[in-house]
């Protein structure tokens, strides 16, 4: 099942810089792992924001919730999730 996920990161201004860097490093490692195994299909930065738009390909709501809530930056994120389904006018068969 595909999900469009908008993630906006909001780190506290007074967060220790080393703590912030550690969170970012762990976030990157986890995101790369999920991309390699095919569950995090797309990852796009939103220009001018500390935010991204992603496409996840997972078994359903529970798996998505588990993955997203396991992100190291999760406590500092505002997240919006939209389930996706195939559009009948889509040209290719990948979906």
How do residues 53-90 score in pLDDT, each as one tens digit?
999 999 999 999 999 999 999 999 999 999 999 989 98
Q: Class of the 2-84 domain?
A: alpha beta
Q: Tell me if 4 sits within 8 A of 82, measured CB to CB.
A: yes
Q: Residue 92: pLDDT band by 50, 70, 90 thresholds? A: confident
24 contacts 73 by C-beta, under 8 angstroms: yes
Q: Decide: 54 and 5 in contact? Cβ < 8 Å.
A: yes
φ, ψ dihedrals at 35, nearest 5° = -70, -40
Q: Which residues pair with 80 in a beta bridge?
A: 6
Domain segments of the chain: what residues? 2-84
């Amino acid at each position: 099942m595909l999900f469009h996920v908008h993630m906006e990161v909001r780190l506290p201004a007074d967060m220790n810089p080393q703590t912030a860097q550690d969170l970012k490093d762990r976030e990157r490692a986890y995101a790369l792992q999920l991309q390699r195994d095919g569950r995090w299909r797309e990852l796009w930065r939103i220009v001018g924001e500390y935010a991204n738009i992603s496409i996840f390909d997972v078994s359903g709501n529970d798996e998505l919730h588990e993955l997203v809530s396991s992100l190291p930056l999760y406590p500092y994120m505002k997240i919006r999730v939209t389930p996706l389904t195939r559009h009948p006018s889509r040209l290719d068969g990948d979906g």
